[in-house]
A and B are shown apart, each in its own frame.
Chain A
Amino acid sequence: MRAAFFRCIREFFYNENFLEVDTPLRQPVSIPESTIIPVGSDGLYLQTSPELCMKRLLAAGCTNIFQICHCFRKEERGRLHLEEFQMLEWYRSGADYFQLMADCEHLLRYVLVQLQSAQSEQNLNPEQKLLKGISLQGKWHKLKVEDAFKQFSPVSLNRALTEDCFDEILVEYIEPFLGMDSPLFLYDYPVELASLARKKEGEETIAERFELYIKGVELANGFSELTDAVEQRVRFQAEIDKIRENYGHRISMPEKFLSDIDRLGSAAGIALGLDRLFMLVMDCPSVSAAVTFAEEDF
């Protein structure tokens, strides 16, 4: 089933005229993100995501690209986290985040139909209902972050931001209700929570970023790309300072990336956690149960 899963994801992107790319797992620079700790590898870093390299490929003239790769993030272990996990990233040039949302709808519908036919053709536990309890039909819900706070949270979005408890509220009061019978897009994040995303036109405080949720599980994060090298440098510097303050690590500025993104036209990109998607499709209790070998298998 896992093999069929990967095959039909690739098929979907081939059908959409995407180019499959691959970029190095080990890199001398890591993305400056204060909430993600990279794993070191003999003086280099294992990638936390292929984002920087893929955007440089866009800047070099690629239009639609995708990649399935392993990513590594230190100290992330839990029901939904593995330190090594599989990511699907895709980028569309000339697009914005709404087009990525449409991609998500098409991709998941395609994957489910293909898997259902693989299931019955190859007689793979045909009784099991894939992606149990979730309907992919019809338009998927879209909910603005601000409205999600109004609907579910005891405090407003602004208060959560000023009192620095956005993440706690999100995890405790909001996420458990998202995407419970059909998938949901949570979108329009405060700009300080989207360090590589473009600001919404006319709204200085909002970034064009979204997350896809199914059964309370955050599945994908996409945004319209920030292509202003000056602003990107300012945001990276803030992250670099935070990393030094919190962990004492010195992270260098991804200079080559910054000089490339000026050449990046408008584009949008998204990262989707494949282990989590497979977990949901197969109704596994955790991501460790959805991968072929988890840490406890050694």
Chain B
Amino acid sequence: MLNASDLRKGLKVQIDGNPYIVTEFQFSKPGKGQALYRCKMRNMISGNQLVKTYRSNDKFEKAALAERNMQFLYNQGDEFHFMDTENYEQLFLSREQIGDNIHFLIDNMEVDVLFFDGMAIDVTVPTFVQLEVTTADPWAKGDTSGNDTKPVTVETGYELQVPPFVVEGDKIQIDTRTGEYVTRVKE
């Protein structure tokens, strides 16, 4: 069991049988009054927002979440298929459940699939991924516009800003938390 005082941003709790993640959190306590924990939470399945104020003696169930390492196989329309690397079980997630991860997902990539109550609800890609640059404009020598980055597209179709020396065919490392360029990968 968790107490209201354990609440913080990113905590995953179970409310009325649904998993919620705390997205905003504020502690307040009027003079001579109770400690109040004001939370904004997102239902991890439906995406619905919940705004609620708790008191310090309110108790919570930790969301019964489990993660399994799986390999991304392929997508067929809006169905994204994954395979458990241990027991070869296969399942799929919807385009909606994949969310922004679609920018970083390539065939055979190993990811963590999040399960709630035996049901796959979310996927976490590695923090750093290496993707190939498929289109990059050549850097215009003598460019005096003052920009020190240029846009490129990687194999997933994702577009981002990189330093001028990156060319087509390069592999680059991307931080999936921010979606930003980290470094060029030497093969």
Decide: B32 and A168 in contact? CB cutoff 8 A.
no
Decide: A218 and B27 in contact? CB cutoff 8 A.
no
Q: Which of A35, A80, A193 contacts B28 (CB 8 A)?
A: A80
Decide: A76 and B29 in contact? CB cutoff 8 A.
yes
Residues on B with beta carbons closer than 8 Å to the beta carbon of A235: none
Residues on B with beta carbons closer than 8 Å to the beta carbon of A167: 30, 33-34, 36
Chain A residue nearest to B28 (CB atoms) is: A171
List residues of chain A with CB under 8 Å of any chain B CB. 33, 35, 75-81, 166-168, 170-172, 175, 193-195, 211, 218, 221, 246
Q: Which of B26, B31, B53, B57 contacts A168 (CB 8 A)?
A: B53
| Cβ distance B54 to chain A, nearest Cβ, rounded Å | 10
Decide: A75 and B30 in contact? CB cutoff 8 A.
no
What is the bound-complex CA distance between A78 and B39, given in angstroms? 13
| Cβ distance A245 to chain B, nearest Cβ, rounded Å | 10
Decide: B29 and A246 in contact? CB cutoff 8 A.
no
Decide: B32 and A78 in contact? CB cutoff 8 A.
no
What is the bound-complex CA distance between A193 and B30, given in angstroms? 11
| Cβ distance B22 to chain A, nearest Cβ, rounded Å | 14
Decide: A79 and B31 in contact? CB cutoff 8 A.
no
Interface string of B28-66 (1 = CB under 8 A from A): 111111111010000000000000010011000000000
When A172-B53, A246-B57 are in contact, do A76 and B33 touch as well, CB less than 8 Å? no
Chain B residue nearest to A77 (CB atoms) is: B27
Decide: A218 and B35 in contact? CB cutoff 8 A.
no
Within 1-33 of B, Cβ neighbours of A (below 8 Å) are at 5, 26-33
What would be 11 A-B contacts, judged by CB atoms less than 8 Å apart?
A: A35-B33, A76-B29, A78-B28, A79-B26, A80-B28, A168-B53, A171-B36, A171-B53, A172-B53, A175-B30, A221-B32
Q: Which of B26, B30, B32, B56 contacts A33 (CB 8 A)?
A: B32
Q: Which of B26, B33, B53, B57 contacts A166 (CB 8 A)?
A: B33
Decide: A168 and B36 in contact? CB cutoff 8 A.
yes
What is the bound-complex CA distance between A194 and B32, given in angstroms? 7
Residues on A with beta carbons closer than 8 Å to the beta carbon of B36: 167-168, 171
When A75-B56, A168-B53, A246-B57 are in contact, do A35 and B35 touch as well, CB less than 8 Å? yes
| Cβ distance B39 to chain A, nearest Cβ, rounded Å | 12
Decide: B31 and A221 in contact? CB cutoff 8 A.
yes
When A167-B36, A221-B32 are in contact, do A78 and B57 touch as well, CB less than 8 Å? no
What is the bound-complex CA distance between A33 and B28, given in angstroms? 17
Chain B residue nearest to A247 (CB atoms) is: B57
Residues on B with beta carbons closer than 8 Å to the beta carbon of A246: 57
6 more contacts with CB within 8 A, not counting A35-B29, A221-B31, are A76-B35, A79-B26, A81-B29, A166-B33, A167-B30, A171-B53
Residues on B with beta carbons closer than 8 Å to the beta carbon of A76: 27, 29, 35
Decide: A78 and B34 in contact? CB cutoff 8 A.
no
Residues on B with beta carbons closer than 8 Å to the beta carbon of A195: 32
| Cβ distance A65 to chain B, nearest Cβ, rounded Å | 21
Interface centre among B30, B34, B57 (most CB of A within 10 A): B30
Decide: B34 and A35 in contact? CB cutoff 8 A.
yes
Within 52-108 of B, Cβ neighbours of A (below 8 Å) are at 53, 56-57
Decide: A170 and B56 in contact? CB cutoff 8 A.
no
